[in-house]
Structure 1
Amino acid sequence: MTDEHRPFHRPTKFTGAKFDNLHGGDDPAETSRIAHETAAALLERVRRHPDPEIVSRLVSYTDDNGIDAIAELWSRAGAFSLPGALWRIYLLRLAIREDPHATSLQFQRGSETLQSIDSVVAGAETPTGPSEIIELADRILRGVFEGDFAVALERAAAFCRVSAVGCTSLADDAEPTEPERASVLTIRALRFSEFASELTTAASLWRSDSLD
Structure 2
Amino acid sequence: MTDEFHKPVRLPSETFDRLFAGDDPAEVSRVAHSTAQALLMRVRAEPDTDIVERLIDFTNHNGIDDIAELWSRSPAKTLPGSLWRLYLLQLSIHDDPDTSALLYERGCTELRSADAVIAGAPSPAAPDELVSVIDQIMRGVFIGDFAVALDRASAFCRVQASGAAHLADDYEQSEPGRSTAFTTRALRLSTYAEDLHQAARLWRRESLA
Instruction: Please classify the TM superposition score into its range, dividing by the shorter chain length.
Output: 0.7 to 0.9
CA distance in 1, matches of 2:65, 2:173: 39
1:11-160 superposed matches below 5 A: 28-160=25-157
Q: Residue 65 of structure 1: CA displacement? A: 1.1
Normalising by structure 2, we get a TM-score of 0.87
Q: Give structure 2 stretches of 5+ with no counterpart.
A: 1-23
Query: Bigger radius of gyration, 1 or 2?
Result: 2
CA distance in 1, matches of 2:66, 2:168: 34
1:136-165 C-alpha deviation (Å, 9 max, x unpaired) = 110111110010000000000000110111
Q: Give structure 1 stretches of 5+ with no counterpart.
A: 1-26
Whether the aligned pair in 1 keeps the contact of 2:108 and 2:123 (CA below 8 Å) is no
Question: Alignment length, in residue pairs?
Answer: 186
CA distance in 1, matches of 2:60, 2:161: 25
The 4+ residue runs of structure 1 with deviation greater than 4 A are none
1:40-61 C-alpha deviation (Å, 9 max, x unpaired) = 0111110011111110000001
- Which of 202, 205, 210 is the matching residue for 2:207? 210
Kindly indicate whether residue 173 of structure 2 is the aligned counterpart of residue 176 of structure 1.
yes
Normalising by structure 1, we get a TM-score of 0.86
Q: Residue 126 of structure 1: CA displacement? A: 2.4
Kindly indicate whether residue 193 of structure 2 is the aligned counterpart of residue 196 of structure 1.
yes
The letter for the 2-side match of 1:77 is S
